[in-house]
Amino acid sequence: MIKPHGSDTLQPRYVADDAARAQLVREAESLPSLLLNSAAAANAVMLGAGYFNPLRGYMNLADALSVAANMTTSDGLFWPVPIINLTKETGATVGSRVALRDPNVDGNPVLAVMDIETVESVSDEQISAMAGQIFGTNDAGHPGVATFTQLGNTLLSGPIQVLNYSYFSAEFAGTFQTAVEIRSEIEQRGWNKVVAFQTRNPMHLAHEELCRMAMERLEADGCIVHMLLGKLKAGDIPADVRDACIRKMVDVYFPANSVMVSGYGFDMLYAGPREAVLHAVFRQNMGASHLIVGRDHAGVGDFYGPFEAQTIFSENVPEGALEIEIFSADHTAWSKKLGKVVMMREAADHEKDDFVLLSGTKVRELLSEGIAPPPEFSRPEVADILMAYYQSENS
């Protein structure tokens, strides 16, 4: 199986030993508390689950600035996006040990324990510079920029010990998996070449066929549909509805032992190319040998060119920085001429009208009215789930 990023073995920050974890939980009750924001909490979950291997905790300011500018930490580790605990709290002190509390669970239980190595003030200019480098824009209309620039001006760095996986393991039991668990399941299934498909949306027929194309062309043993389970922007489909849609599609239309349905606990950044590289890093950590990177991967609005998330791998990721390989895909759609889903760039003698193309707005209108999109666009079983969701929202 492919090695994790930056180390020979996976080094998750979750305290797996029951006795040691129970002792830490007791200790945490007597420690000073810090209520995390959702971004820092999501980073803790990903660190705990092994997805952010080989990081031991939150980056300091020098590493955060270096990663934002050059995609490497100060000591040369390739990394695409700063993994930080940026906060508005200012009472923490260097050398202290604090209980990090979960903002996303009632009662704010302790999520992790942190040893604070640095407490640094980050200027508005530094935050603005990092935002521009991570997101490619400083436009406050970009949801990632809007979130990042409002987190605060105090940066806390240091290693963490993670005690639980927030709401993900309870609310998405059977779907949320750690990188450790996915590696174990890949091994149990006897897979070697594994394709990962990133999604924050339900999968329509074109997405289904893209996974099938990638598996066939790469001669892969299997595919992991790996869905984001954390916070999205307003209007996106909730994770439980996406989960139901994807599982129905896989159960009905894929052979047994060919597709895993899984999810990870992270908030969407909408960072386009940089987030695509982060997706590659943590898919390598979970054992995937290939990642499908499609048109406008991890993008939002018109902030990124359609293929920037692909060209960053050839233009900005140094040779040998990652072992995982990219399967570059174009937009896929049903060809009326050929009677099947194709990559649009591979369809010779086709005009736009030769494809079945529906805007997101049009699809939502149809579903809200109880009208299924055409079968060339969406599987009927998936459409039924989505129609029920939209009609419940509008009732």
Per-residue model confidence as pLDDT tens digits over 94-110:
999 999 999 999 999 99
- pLDDT of res. 360: 81
Report the predicted TM-score, pTM, of the whole model to 2 decimal places. 0.94
Residue 178 above 90 pLDDT? yes
- pLDDT of res. 238: 84
Mean pLDDT on 214-227: 97
Q: Can 18-167 and 170-394 be said to share one CATH topology?
A: no
Residues 6+ apart with CB under 8 A from 350: 335, 337, 344
Which range is least confidently modeled, 37-51, 291-305, 323-337, 354-368?
A: 354-368
- pLDDT of res. 395: 67
Place of tokens 């299934």: 189
**Residue 12, CA atoms < 13 Å, CB-side half-sphere:** 24
| Reported confidence tier of residue 271, pLDDT bands at 50, 70, 90 | very high
- pLDDT of res. 164: 98
Specify burial of residue 168 (Cβ count, 10 A radius: 0-12, 13-18, 19+).
buried
Asked if CATH classification 3.90.1720.10 holds for the domain at 18-167, the reply, yes or no, is no
Beta strands per DSSP E along the chain: 33-35, 57-58, 85-87, 97-101, 110-115, 118-121, 154-162, 194-199, 222-228, 259-264, 290-293, 325-328, 332-335, 340-343, 355-356
Q: Are strands 340-343 and 332-335 parallel, antiparallel or unpaired?
A: antiparallel
Instruction: Tell me the helices (H) and strands (E) count for the chain, helix number first.
Output: 13, 15
126 residue type, one letter: Q
Q: Are strands 325-328 and 290-293 parallel, antiparallel or unpaired?
A: parallel
Residues 6+ apart with CB under 8 A from 57: 13, 47, 114, 115, 157, 158, 159, 160
Mean pLDDT on 255-269: 95
Residue 150 above 70 pLDDT? yes
Residue 92 above 80 pLDDT? yes
Residue 198 above 90 pLDDT? yes
- pLDDT of res. 336: 95
> In b/e form, how buried is each residue of 284-310, taking b as 16+ CB within 10 angstroms?
bbbbbbbbbbbbbbbbbeebbeebbbb
Instruction: Give percent of the chain with pLDDT exceeding 90.
Output: 89
Residue 393 above 90 pLDDT? no
Radius of gyration of the chain (CA): 21
Active-site positions? Answer: 200-201
Report long-range pairs for 146-151 (Cβ below 8 Å, ≥24 apart). Answer: 147/39, 147/267, 148/39, 151/37, 151/39, 151/40, 151/86, 151/87, 151/88
What stretch of H or E contains 218? helix 205-218
Instruction: Please tell me the CATH superfamily of domain 170-394, with its number.
Output: HUPs (3.40.50.620)
| Domains of the chain, residue spans | 18-167, 170-394
Cβ atoms within 10 Å, residue 62:
14
Per-residue model confidence as pLDDT tens digits over 131-146:
999 999 999 999 999 9
Whole-angstrom CA distances from 379 to 20, 252, 282 are: 48, 10, 30
Instruction: Give percent of the chain with pLDDT exceeding 70.
Output: 99
Q: By the 8 A CB rule, do 143 and 133 touch? A: no
Residue 201 above 90 pLDDT? no
Q: Are strands 85-87 and 154-162 parallel, antiparallel or unpaired?
A: antiparallel
Q: By the 8 A CB rule, do 226 and 283 touch? A: yes
Q: By the 8 A CB rule, do 295 and 332 touch? A: no
| Reported confidence tier of residue 240, pLDDT bands at 50, 70, 90 | confident
